Amino acid sequence: NAGVTQTPKFQVLKTGQSMTLQCAQDMNHNSMYWYRQDPGMGLRLIYYSASEGTTDKGEVPNGYNVSRLNKREFSLRLESAAPSQTSVYFCASSELGTASLTFGSGTRLTVV
């Protein structure tokens, strides 16, 4: 099915470990986003890429880095995981200038 694909779906990390969350979309969208979702906090934007070759910080960027590898792929890296980064991470994409986002199914990350 067309859409946004995230890998992995689940991950458990130890404090201090690093990992990269992968995201790919096949809708030819220009803009891509990484959100985290926590109980009572809603969806919070970590980083976004308005178009290929650009990335910008969102509301909660500390502890994360991103790479827009090409138009299809946008990865999120945790260099040194902390328990506060335990969350569900969603990747999304959209056409530039619209707020109609298509989300992936999420990555459930636990940092112990």
Partner 1 sequence: QKEVEQDPGPLSVPEGAIVSLNCTYSNSAFQYFMWYRQYSRKGPELLMYTYSSGNKEDGRFTAQVDKSSKYISLFIRDSQPSDSATYLCAMRRVDFGNEKLTFGTGTRLTIIP
Task: In angstroms, give the least distance from the CB of 100 to partner 1.
Answer: 5
Which strands make up the sheet holding 4-7, listed edge to edge?
4-7, 19-25, 74-78, 64-68
**Any idea of the CA torsion for 10, 2, 77, 12, to the nearest 10 degrees?**
0
Interface with partner 1 (CB under 8 A), residue from 79, 105, 110, 112: 105
Task: In angstroms, give the least distance from the CB of 92 to partner 1.
Answer: 8
Q: Does residue number 45 form part of the binding site for partner 1 (CB under 8 A)?
A: yes
Q: Which residues bind partner 1 (CB under 8 A)?
A: 4, 40-43, 45, 56, 90, 92, 97, 99-106
